[in-house]
Amino acid sequence: MPDVSPGGNPRVSTLQTKHLRFTDIGLATDNVPRLRAFYETVFGGKAGGDEWHSSLAVEGVFFAFVHCGTLRENPTFQFAATGAANNLMMGFEVEDVDAEHQRLLALGVAMLNAPATHPWGARSFQFKDPDGNVLNFHNRPKQG
């Protein structure tokens, strides 16, 4: 729970380091090869690693696939579980939402919805990976 000032506004804290860089999206899974193959199919590229830990780099985004058994053995990661991924949506900007939707449908990806244009002008659709993580493919509103 964030620290809240007497006026009801969250207190803002300044980052205590001069270097902060987003590094990866870590996905805990009970089946690394299956999840790795799904992301290779959706994003292209070839992941490195094995059945316990693999990684895939695509356009500056780094996916890490880690077997839950490996995580459970390490006391640092006792929180790790699969099947409860509904709190996370990973968003990716794509050039043509409709073309990506058709491409993924042809690959057999199960969609959560069809492409839709939102009141703010963006267009998007969502789908889940084999472990239930939600992916959002979208584009920004066209200027003009």
CATH number of the domain that residue 113 is part of: 3.10.180.10
Is residue 104 in some structural domain? yes
The answer to whether 138 and 97 have CB atoms below 8 angstroms apart is yes
Spatial neighbors of 108 by CB under 8 A, at least 6 apart, are none
| Matching residue, tokens 């990973």 | 90
Split into its structural domains, the chain has a count of 2
Model pLDDT, residue 1: 47
Instruction: For residues 8-22, give the mean pLDDT.
Output: 61
Least confident range of 31-40, 56-65, 67-76? 67-76
Give the domain range for residue 50.
Answer: 21-82
User: Are both 116 and 74 inside the same structural domain?
Assistant: no
Model pLDDT, residue 129: 92
- Give the predicted TM-score (pTM) of the model: 0.70
The answer to whether 139 and 121 have CB atoms below 8 angstroms apart is no
Q: Is the dihedral of CA 119, 123, 128, 134 positive or negative?
A: negative
Is residue 9 in some structural domain? no
User: Are both 77 and 103 inside the same structural domain?
Assistant: no
User: Are both 25 and 49 inside the same structural domain?
Assistant: yes
* pLDDT (tens digit per residue) in 77-128: 555 555 555 556 788 999 899 999 999 999 999 899 999 988 778 889 999 8
User: Are both 108 and 55 inside the same structural domain?
Assistant: no
User: Are both 94 and 126 inside the same structural domain?
Assistant: yes
User: Are both 69 and 26 inside the same structural domain?
Assistant: yes
Instruction: For residues 48-53, give the mean pLDDT.
Output: 90
pLDDT over 90 at 42, yes or no: yes
Is residue 132 in some structural domain? yes
User: Are both 92 and 140 inside the same structural domain?
Assistant: yes
Model pLDDT, residue 57: 94
